[in-house]
Structures are given as structure tokens and as C-alpha cells.
Amino acid sequence: MRSPKIALIGAGSLVFCKTLVSDILATPALQGAELRLMSRTKPKIEQMERFVRRLISTNKLPATVSHTTDRRAALKDAYYVICMVQVGGLEAFGHDYEIPLKYGVDQCIGDSLGPGGVFRGLRHIHFLKELVQDMEALCPRALLLNYANPMGACCTALGRLRADQSIGLCHGVQTTLDLISSYVGVPKERIDHLVAGINHMAWFLQLTEKGSGRDLYPLFKANCEKPEYYINEKVRIEVMRHFGFFMTESTGHLSEYVPWFRKNAAALAAYCDQPDFGGASGAYYRYAKAVVGKYEGVDYLAGESDRLPCRSVEYCSYILEARETDVPFRLQGNVRNDGYIDNLPAGACVEIPVMVDGKGLHPLRVGRLPAQCAALNQSNVTVQGLIVDAALSGDPELAMQAIAMDPLAGAVCTLDQIRRMTAELLEAQRPWLPQFAGRTLAAKPAIATPSGLHGVEVPLDPALATANRFGELARSQMGAKA
């Protein structure tokens, strides 16, 4: 059996990288892997390498591990590339949350859509473009597994840059199945499901019990009407009540992707009143800030157990296992829409069932989504496409237009406010946006219209002029009767 060469880009992500590496080493077919950890952050990458060495040594595995701050060195002749970067780190994330809040855009997570998602996308897509260019030169046949958000925008970009050898991975389906299982009292292993849509907004189109074929949706919906169930996921359940299907992402996430739940204080109090990812303002940023503060200058991995745990729900190790063993595995993946969902745009990123085996990735055709589901997805797909256009072109106007088309920002702000917010975000984040170097977002000063000002006369089509005269005559007659 060969020793797969695996490049982990952004391996300074101590919690997430630890999970993926532990999964890989717990997989028999991957235990001889050559793990290459890459990060620009030297102390963290050294801590991660020491931890992985302990795992390998304690469990007597044939795997090897090394670390580097040179991306090209990590990529050379790699079989698999796992991307988990966060360009700009906590500092950029702070701008993503705090600047929009000044303009009334209240984000709970701020990494997938909204102003925060737009700017994270601008940072990450530029990075992904450079990563793909390096891969084409150094490991052209490698499979790229992307974990970086905003998943929809990043994978739309990858669809343009490297479609057939890339996939985006999320755990929304797996974790949502845990919730559904508990609500219907059926182990998740016994639930057949069909899920399709876009990342963080994929729809559970079917829920049936294996063996009996019993439709589990009626019981699930009935329980969701009960207060003790409803309170856990107010936003997701409200969307299901009005659109018919349950979605794959939490209340905190979903509340940002639609215009109805975070646009004012009353909406926030009614639907986003649970702590942390239940809708609290800045929940993800505050969590990230607390983690950074807690472990700053501390090697928290030094005290972590070096026993291999059971594999997590993350798909990464299962995909690599299927590629290495040629034993098929089915997952939910984010891929370019090449006819898999009929009523979402070609080229958009869609989240659908995907089979993987030794020959590669095999996305499965879904057909048409329910019209209302596709419409809600389209509101986000439009923004994602504009993010990609802005990131690849470095055009500030496209960045502003992406935020203007965002459902939440559009519900809260005027176009002038969005323009000023975008300009402020661009200036604050210039260190991580080299594609915008030397380009600014032009201001659009307000045009004054003094009281009593008469507009210029505009020629009317004769038919319209006749209709206007009849309208004026009718109004004057009504006034006379009054």
C-alpha cells in the first residue's frame, strides 16, 4: 500500500487540524501517510507537529510528519491538499463584525454571507487562486479538499479555477441529522435522507426510516410546533414552517442569510434570543477571541491525550480512504453545478450527494428543487457570484454590489450606507486584499432636491399623455363631488 502525501494548508488551526489529523491516523488505509503541515504562524505549526509526532509514536504508526512555512514545499508531489486557512486571522474577523455593526448590520457568525462573509470571501478567494496556481505547477493531479468559509463563494471560485479536482466540505448535514434524530426518536443511522441546495442552506428533501419506509417529516414537524423543541432552533423552524423543508444550518447562521430575523431589535428579540450560536450578536467572533486569549503563549496540545480517538463526523478521512481503497463512500459535498440541480445556475456551487472511489468524485444528479427552496438559495447564490467576481478582479464596485445584494444588509441599509460601509471595510482590510491595491471605492455624494423643486419636463408617449389627461379629469370630477 502506498504512503499518501497529504499537505495540510493552514495547519496552525489547532482545534480543526487536530481533528482532521487524528481522523487520518485513525484510518488504517491512511496510517502510513506523509503529513506535511503548513502555516505562516511558526509557534502554532511547531506545536501541531509535536502533537502529531506523539500520536504517531504512541500508537506505533508508520506515518511521518513535518512542518513548513513554505506552501510550495508542502505541495510538491502531494496526493491530497486540505485547505483550512483563515486569512487575516482574528484581526480581520474583528473588522468583519465590528464595522458592519456600526451601520446596523448585526451578525451572529459573519463568515458565510453578509458583509463579514463577503470580505472573508475576498480574502480567501485570492489565496485559493494562488494555491491553485501552485498546485497546477507542483501537484496537478492532487485532490483539493476545501474547509475554508465562505464555502459557497470559495467553491464557486474553485469551480472556475479547478472544478474537477476540488470539493468543499462541511459538517452541517451530519450535525443536523443528530438534531433530527433526537426530535423523532430514531437513531440517525436508521434515517434515509436526501439533502440538496447550497452550503449552509441545503434542504432535507426526504426523511424516511430505513426498513419501514416511514416518512419521518410529519412527526418532525409536529414536534417542532412544541415550544420546548421550537426554542432550540427558532429561525430554522420558522423557515420550515413557511417554506416546507428543514435546512442544514443553525439559527445563528441562517438568521444572517435571509432578511427577516436580524433586521431590527424586535426581530432579534423574537427569533435570535438564545445564547451563543442561537443568535447572539457577534457569537462566533467573541468565541474566537476568547480562544485566542485563552491559549496565547500556551501549548494547549501538550496536555492533549495521545490516544487515537474514534473518527469524527468530518468527511475528510473517509474521502481519502475511499480514494486509497477504491471502496465507495457517499457524502454531501460542495461542487460546481454541472447539471446536478436544474433550477440553480450552472457554475454555481451546490451541496449535493457525492460518491467517491478510487477513480475520483462522482456528484449525483438531483433534478429540480421545490421552487420556493431554489428561490431562497438563489438569493445567496447571487451574492456568492458577485463575491467571486470582486475577488478575482479586484473591483471595489463589485464588492459593494455583493453587499448591496446581500439579503440582511439590504434589509437594514440604504445603498449609500452600504457604499460607505464597504469603503471602510476595504480600507481596514487592505493588508489582506492585495488584489485591490491602489483602488478605492468612489463616493457618491447625495443629490439635494430643494423643497418646491419642479422636475424637468419629460416627453410622453401620446397614448400615455391621453391616459394622464383622463386621470386628471377623473380626479377633478371626484374633487368637485366631494
Question: Counting Cβ atoms within 10 Å, is residue 188 exposed (0-12), middle (13-18) or buried (19+)?
Answer: middle
Task: List the catalytic residue out of 147, 257, 284, 318.
Answer: 257
User: What gap in Å lies between CA 69 and CA 12, rounded to an integer?
Assistant: 10
Closest CA to 233 of 218, 222, 249: 249
To 5 degrees, how large is the angle CA 106–CA 112–CA 118? 80
Residue 302: count of CB within 10 angstroms of its CB: 10
Active site residue 217: no
Residues in a beta bridge with 336: 349
Closest CA to 23 of 194, 188, 178, 169: 169
User: What gap in Å lies between CA 481 and CA 476, rounded to an integer?
Assistant: 9
Active site residue 287: no
Q: List C-alpha distances in Å: 129 to 12, 124, 126, 373, 435.
A: 20, 9, 5, 31, 11
- Contacts of 430-438 with CB under 8 Å at 24 or more apart are 431/88, 432/87, 432/88, 432/92, 432/123, 433/122, 433/123, 433/126, 433/394, 434/126, 435/122, 435/126, 435/391, 435/392, 435/393, 435/394, 436/122, 436/394, 436/396, 436/399, 437/394
Write phi, then psi, for 24 (nearest 5 degrees): -60, -45
Per-position b or e across 441-471, b if 16+ CB within 10 A of its CB: beeeeeeeeeeeeeeeeeeeeeeeeeeeeee
User: What gap in Å lies between CA 448 and CA 205, rounded to an integer?
Assistant: 51
Residue 43: CB partners within 8 Å, gap ≥ 6? none
Omega within 30 of 0 (cis) for the link into 150: yes
Give the active site residues.
Answer: 171, 257
